Amino acid sequence: MKIIKRNGSETVFDITKIIVAISKANETVGEAERMTPMQIQRIADSVVLACEKLGRSPSVEEVQDMVEKQIMAHGAFEVAKSYITYRYTRTLVRQSNTTDDKILSLIECNNEEAKQENSNKNPVVNSTQRDYMAGEVSKDITNRILLPKEIVDAHNEGIIHFHDADYFAQHMHNCDLVNLEDMLQNGTVITGTLIERPHSFSTACNIATQIIAQVASNQYGGQSISLTHLAPFVQVSREKLRKAVEEELAEIGAQVTEEKINEMTERRLREEIKRGVQTIQYQVVTLLTTNGQAPFVTVFMYLNEAKNEQEKKDLALIIEEVLAQRYQGVKNEQGVWVTPAFPKLIYVLEEDNITEDAPYWYLTELAAKCTAKRMVPDYISEKKMLELKVDKNGEGHCYTCMGCRSFLTPYVDENGQAKYYGRFNQGVVTISLPDVALSSGGNMEKFWKIFDERLELCHQALLCRHERLKGTLSDAAPILWQYGACARLKKGETIDKLLFGGYSTISLGYAGLYECVKYMTGKSHTDPAATPFALDVMQHMNDACAKWKKQHNIDFSLYGTPLESTTYKFAKCLQKRFGVIEGITDKGYITNSYHVHVTEEIDAFKKLEFEAQFQHLSPGGAISYVEVPNMQNNLPAVLALMKFIYENIIYAELNTKSDYCQECGWDGEIGIREVDGKLVWTCPQCGNQNQDKMNVARRTCGYIGTQYWNQGRTQEIKERVLHL
């Protein structure tokens, strides 16, 4: 068994240290109050047993809490008092250099929690270490100076989660929909260099990747671009290539038909589209931004977004090439084709591509083939979005999320026009619903009272995020605020007008609806008897957001939080506060947002149908998934699921597996085994457990991760049941 030290590093659990610590406290009290060596040994054995039941590596603090409780359980209150006093004294000493210790552990790459904090960051490389080091300093300043103590304490206790505190000291926002159309059509400026409207499709793709990198370096969340904004440049290249073909033919005196000229032009155009798409795929994968990871970018593929039929046909050419290249994958160090994490792809299901006789059905078939092998694209239903995303004019809209799942709410500008590109999210604070339930002790009246208190805490924390952005000058991130990604403000102008009136959103996140409902009702929220309570909880949070929106003229929106490392943090905090409760706190994770518990047996269609009602109540963003086996030989089933998504739910994805062992060449699923109390990824063919010698891709929170996960998330992945 292992233990997590205070600086985040992991070491072998040593029972003798518990015995020594208790013995030292024992020696400080009078002989009459002392415990016997046998009692001390029993306490140590009990603590070891409790740690083993956790199913994960405990932290030093958790072990010391267990020791305290066991000493008091033995009636040795004077010994317990001595032990607690010593702990408190040592805590005061440590507080002066906690940040230093964490930074040093990051540099030496022995901070286990940091190494598994983000499944798309490699903690060994300098850029990631630099980002983490800056993040520790930022968190230190945030906790000591910038945030009220009650919010910091609630965050540390796992009552709420103040997301991305490592970026809070800077005036940075969360995520956005990049207005690529404006930047390409009207020009932009990158690091002081004027970039004019491109004169070919391939150049437009190249500029797009530079914009993606710049945007990623100036905010901390996901971003999305639309292929529709690249589509007009296909015609620009077509005209340019046709002229070149005609000149070449004239030069050699060849007489050919218009049909032949068109054929030659289109062949060259296809090659240019291929090169342009390749530029996007490989540059996004190989770029490392200032936060030490590839840009978190989503590419949106929506045929009905095109302005005319020719543009739609050209957009279809781009989509086809994007899907074909993603199906192929990218080569790893050994030259083997593997699944990349980014860019994330979203394909819109619409009337033109959802039935076999539709003109773009061939793209849907290609998308299904790609999903079966590479886990993307994910799917948005135009039908459901038009039905549910309705603006104040009564018009429905279909648009992409920002990154993995954060959705803007419908917005109409001063000219009465719907607007989505150029908008952004100010930040997220998440409430732990299981903590609300457990704090109530199962008393329903007390539950709603505590719920309101916790929501008000989130309200104040979200206002801190908003206030931190207020007064930010456009000069802080010119690519965002001055040169078109989000706005075209003047130099020296603040971004304040973009923070009010619904232009941007700010998100109340929530986690663990399943555990909350299970504790309060004794049933899963999928049980018809418990579902109404689950929906009441959702509506209550929506009502709170509506109240805050009216109060401040800020667009508060409920958001289905994508817990990655936080799922482990919340689980540990619940165990610390309430102990191990079967079915509630007995795992190293809690469920994402409203999701059906990963161990619950339910078929794919029923799962999507059930979760659809919760997506509608998460206007700030949410995504559902179904866990499936290898589907490459069962594409009809994939297509059936896609049709079901179109009819029933806004946004969903299929979780397949895509692995490769570099030691033996195994390309099936790489499994998870328990070794000395720790979950370890293991090749089933050769037994390889070296994570540097395998490629593992799993979707955890709406996006694909490739750099592994903490023990809580790894347990969640291991326990997932198939839905098909």
Q: Catalytic residues, which ones?
A: 174-175, 402, 404, 406, 425, 559, 564, 702
- Structural contact between residues 116 and 715, judged by C-beta atoms closer than 8 angstroms: no
- Structural contact between residues 297 and 225, judged by C-beta atoms closer than 8 angstroms: yes
CB atoms within 10 A of CB 423: 22
CA-CA distance, 162 to 155, in Å (whole number)? 6
CA-CA distance, 718 to 712, in Å (whole number)? 10
Continuous segment of H or E residues that includes residue 655: strand 651-655
Backbone angles phi, psi at 248, to 5 degrees: -65, -40
Q: Which residues contact 693 (CB under 8 A, 6 or more apart)?
A: 661, 662, 663
C-alpha pair distances (Å), 395 with each of 66, 234, 466, 500, 502:
57, 30, 29, 22, 17
What is the per-residue DSSP string for 386-421? Answer: HHH-B-TTS-B-----BTTTBPPPP-B-TTS-B--T
C-alpha pair distances (Å), 14 with each of 3, 19, 406, 515:
9, 9, 44, 33
CA-CA distance, 514 to 440, in Å (whole number)? 16
- Among candidate residues 114, 154, 143, the one with its CA nearest the CA of residue 5: 114
CA-CA distance, 372 to 374, in Å (whole number)? 6
- Structural contact between residues 25 and 68, judged by C-beta atoms closer than 8 angstroms: no
C-alpha pair distances (Å), 49 with each of 58, 68, 181:
12, 15, 60
